[in-house]
């Protein structure tokens, strides 16, 4: 793959579009298998013995699915967090468990449906 300078906004967007298209071209089964393999590897990491929170994301547009990670966290007593977009470029996090309510953000990406007072700044993460 050719090198794309990431300091150029147009080049960054072109790279995002290219990677999104490549991910979308992968069969769904291959993406799910990769997500399962990631969760298996994550479960082996010693840091999970001492962490209290783990932030992830809700996979969209062919991103690596983290569908097994919330259950892994719950089984170990770890709070699983998803990002929540704020005004401008601010990003905070909210606790989430499989089955809990989600709302689409301004980009259509699912986010936890929680009160403003429940949102955590990145400084509160382990």
pLDDT for 1-27, tens place per residue?
A: 556 566 788 888 999 899 989 998 999
* C-alpha dihedral (64, 65, 68, 70), degrees to nearest 10: 100
pLDDT for 78-103, tens place per residue?
A: 999 999 998 888 999 999 999 999 99
Query: 91-95 and 102-104 as β-strands: parallel, antiparallel, unpaired?
Result: unpaired
Q: C-alpha 77: how far from its chain's center?
A: 19
> At residue 61, does pLDDT exceed 90?
no
Where exactly are the structural domains of the chain?
A: 9-124
Q: Which CATH class is domain 9-124?
A: alpha beta
Global pTM value: 0.83
Rounded to an integer, what distance in angstroms lies between the CA atom of residue 61 and that of residue 117?
A: 30
> What pLDDT does residue 3 have?
61
């Amino acid at each position: 793959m050719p090198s794309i300078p990431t300091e150029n906004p147009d080049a960054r967007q072109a790279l995002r579009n290219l990677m999104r298209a490549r991910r979308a071209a992968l069969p769904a089964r291959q993406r799910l298998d990769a997500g399962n393999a990631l969760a298996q590897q994550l479960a082996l990491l010693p840091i999970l013995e001492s962490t209290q929170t783990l932030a992830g994301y809700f996979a969209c547009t062919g991103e690596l699915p983290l569908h097994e990670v919330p259950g892994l966290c719950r089984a170990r007593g770890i709070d699983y967090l998803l990002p929540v977009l704020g005004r401008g470029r601010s990003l905070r996090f909210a606790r989430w468990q499989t089955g809990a309510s989600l709302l689409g953000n301004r980009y259509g990406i699912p986010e936890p449906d929680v009160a403003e007072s429940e949102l955590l700044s990145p400084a509160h993460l382990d």
